[in-house]
Structure 1
Amino acid sequence: MKKAHVIMLLLLCLVGYSAFGQADSSSEEPNLINTEMLKKMTVAIENQTYPNVHSVLIHYKGNLVFEKYFSGKDESWGTDLGVVEHGENTLHDLRSLTKSIVSICFGLAIQNGFIENVEEKVFTYFPEYGDLNIGLHQEITLKHLLTMTSGLEWNEDLPYTNPKNSETAMVMSDDPIRYVLSRPLQESPGSVWNYNGGTTELLSVILHKATGLNIEEFAVEYLFKPLEIDTYYWTKAPGQEHPIAASGLRMLPSDILKIGVVLLQDGYYKGEELLNKQWVEESFTSHVKRGKNGGYGYQFWIDQSPDGKEPNKLVTAVGNGDQRIYLDKSKQLVVVTTAGNYNIWDLEKGSFQLLTDFIYPALEK
């Protein structure tokens, strides 16, 4: 009889905590979310009304309330993988969501004393390119790289198969860093947002110079190991050993979610501070206007909440193909999606529509 009581106590302890070290409130709130609405979402994904979605994970009020995987056509950094049966152990491209991981690592580098602050001048780290450190180029700071406000000429609006696409040209260049730093200035640094994967590559090289570890090595030591993440792949640039910081990371959706939950918890994991709260707040602050209604933080996109009630409250890590981490701190919500809609820029039924059509309505029970 005593043995049975001990087993029962152990089971209660196990179910009382989620995988992220948070107390599980499901015993207090058994109906956190409208599951019927999520069932409708699953059917809509399976019948391709919302095409080629590969996974949806929802963490709400300290609980993993939804985790579902779907089969679909996929790629690995442009290489066709055919139809993949996605599951909890299937790696997935992050594409430009990798940029947000780089930003987190940059914050960890500052936190650990490798880099002083975001106001340092970029060319401080590149004396070998002193011939380019002229005019307003001298004013470009680390913060300008983080917020994509360097002012450097850059065009990623062209297809990535087009050699005139600036990121493609950078990757194929014999000297990618010189290619980025040599771009003429179109705007004064800090004044205008322009999407620029080259600045993320600069951040990763600066981190390497400051720490002696490349971006992959640093991420493993200071982010992945503390979060118990051991399954990933980081694509290298063609003919180089340097990991592609702007788009090269592949991870498990559950590990992407883990990072999202840490950010939602102001940098804490299992009750211990991993990432400085101030860095999270700065990353999630809109430092510059982006388009008509959006903003941009430190490699994170800032937008209005899908319910229209919370301006500048939805923080998103964004990757080509509809890879997303959506963070809504006011609702204690993290949503991760992966999909195979690469280079489809006019997708009408994508992950954001899953938020507006199903996920946010499901929160209202």
Structure 2
Amino acid sequence: MKKIRVFGAIFIIIFSISACTQSSEKVSEAEETNIDSEFTLAKPEAVGLNSVIINELIDSIQTGYYPNRHSLLIYKDKQLVVEEYFTGKDENWGDDLGIVTYNDSLLHDLRSVSKSVVSACIGIAIAQGKIKSVDQPIFDFFEDYQQFNSEGREELTIKHLLTMTSGLKWNEEISYDNPENSEIQMIESGDAIGFVLSREIVDKPGTVWKYNGGTTELLAEIIHRVSDKNVHEFAKEFLFLPIGISNSEWTISPATNSPAAASGLRLTPRAMLKFGMLYLQDGIWDGKQIIPKEWVKESFEPHIMRPDGQGYGYQFWILDYQIDGKTLHVPVAVGNGDQRIFFDLQNKMLLITTAGNYNQWDIENDASALLKKIYSSFTLNN
């Protein structure tokens, strides 16, 4: 059995789960605006979305057109207008969980969305005065690794780590099942920090974007060294608890015996929504500035252009989508398996979705296709 959320009413539906079909309920046409303990709930029409198209989208998830999707949340104009959970195959940092029936209280792998959370922690640490600025050299924090502070690595700053422009030799472009993958080598190295800092400089720092989870591990270790708290402890105290997130897990990396900063965080989709709301609200929660407003702005700016012509901020992807002849500029927190938080600042909208499509890079009907389908609903009403 599965608990089903309908805004304004709750129904229990008894059903059989098959391996090829996902389950959820559709948006009720009779729903009314409601307040629950955490969010203002409303029907899609209240914010200009067409429920018929939204229901078609949910049907398509159920039939597998958008494969192995586990959740879909849409938040617009300060209202949660869609909240759907599904059943599908999943993992916990590579460990098979089998078939999971998701709801609003179950944790889910965020994978590289974890990187965006680490970025938020860096912004908070700068605001606390624990880090001088993004321009501070990283070897200020690694006195025990000074043997690597040479051959161009002495130029490295926190900003280079945030924007993945370190210039360090690194390869995450191959499968994570491949032992030549640099992140896998880092995890198995026994000394993640030394492994990353010892990499050869192959490009001048700040000039070339190269995806590098190792630099996120360095950022997390800097948090640890300046606060005496690992990144999960720091996030819980200064980020999660202030915005009402009380349930989280962060997988421990065997390379550091500390949270796997680049990929190990697990949150509920509702917690992901709260994180998104914080950025949508310029870092303010209940009148308190949790993350500096300027940090939010800088995080969503394209500090470097990637080889595909799209931008990259402070551990956020900056993507442009062409929809109905218009360009939609969207910062995105991106995680392996098709975990996404889309930030539509112009329309004050968030799309949160989780899935179990790990290491599958060629899925046509992925989270971006979901986004475009939702905007076909939105544009019909505008």
Q: Would you call these one fold, judging by a TM-score over 0.5?
A: yes
User: How far did 1:241 drift?
Assistant: 2.8
When structure 1 is superposed on structure 2, of 241-250 and 193-202 the one drifting more is: 241-250
When structure 1 is superposed on structure 2, of 264-273 and 43-52 the one drifting more is: 264-273
Are 1:142 and 2:158 matched, yes or no? Answer: yes
Listed as ranges, the matches of 1:291-302 within 5 Å are 291-302=307-318
**Aligned residue number for residue 168 of structure 1:** 184
User: How far did 1:275 drift?
Assistant: 1.1
Change (3 A) 1:25 1:92: closer
Structure 2's unaligned 5+ residue stretches are 1-32
Matched AA of 2:190: D
Change (3 A) 1:306 1:326: farther
Q: Secondary structure at 2:252's aligned position in 1?
A: coil
Q: 2:68 aligns with which of 25, 39, 52?
A: 52
Please report the TM-score for the alignment, with normalisation by the length of structure 2.
0.87
**Aligned residue number for residue 374 of structure 2:** 359
**Aligned residue number for residue 327 of structure 2:** 310
**Aligned residue number for residue 19 of structure 1:** 38
1:293·1:303 contact (CA, 8 Å) conserved in 2? Answer: no
**Aligned residue number for residue 3 of structure 1:** none
1:306·1:355 contact (CA, 8 Å) conserved in 2? Answer: no
Change (3 A) 1:209 1:87: same
Superposition misfits of 4+ residues, deviation over 4 angstroms: 14-18, 24-27
Q: 1:108 aligns with which of 124, 143, 150?
A: 124
* Distance (whole Å) between structure 1 residues aligned to residue 36 and residue 106 of structure 2: 25
- Determine which structure has the larger strand proportion and give its number: 2
Are 1:323 and 2:343 matched, yes or no? Answer: no
User: How far did 1:249 drift?
Assistant: 0.5
* Distance (whole Å) between structure 2 residues aligned to residue 183 and residue 241 of structure 1: 21
- Determine which structure has the larger helix proportion and give its number: 1
Are 1:196 and 2:212 matched, yes or no? Answer: yes
* Distance (whole Å) between structure 1 residues aligned to residue 66 and residue 85 of structure 2: 14
RMSD: 1.8
When structure 1 is superposed on structure 2, of 235-244 and 194-203 the one drifting more is: 235-244
Matched AA of 1:268: I
Aligned residues: 346
After superposition, the C-alpha distances for 1:300-340 in whole angstroms (9 at most, x for unaligned) are 000114525236x2000000000000001001110001000
2:85·2:104 contact (CA, 8 Å) conserved in 1? Answer: yes
Q: Percent identity?
A: 47
Structure 1's unaligned 5+ residue stretches are 1-13
**Aligned residue number for residue 63 of structure 1:** 79
* Distance (whole Å) between structure 2 residues aligned to residue 239 and residue 115 of structure 1: 25
1:98·1:245 contact (CA, 8 Å) conserved in 2? Answer: yes
Matched AA of 1:294: Q
After superposition, the C-alpha distances for 1:120-156 in whole angstroms (9 at most, x for unaligned) are 0011111111111112111010000000000000000
Q: Secondary structure at 2:297's aligned position in 1?
A: helix
After superposition, the C-alpha distances for 1:58-79 in whole angstroms (9 at most, x for unaligned) are 0011110100000000000000
User: How far did 1:198 drift?
Assistant: 0.1
After superposition, the C-alpha distances for 1:175-201 in whole angstroms (9 at most, x for unaligned) are 111110111011000000000000000
Are 1:247 and 2:266 matched, yes or no? Answer: no
Q: 1:220 aligns with which of 215, 236, 244?
A: 236
* Distance (whole Å) between structure 2 residues aligned to residue 31 and residue 120 of structure 1: 43
Tell me: higher relative CO, structure 1 or 2? Use CA pairs within 8 A at least 6 residues apart. 1
Change (3 A) 1:26 1:89: closer
User: How far did 1:362 drift?
Assistant: 1.7
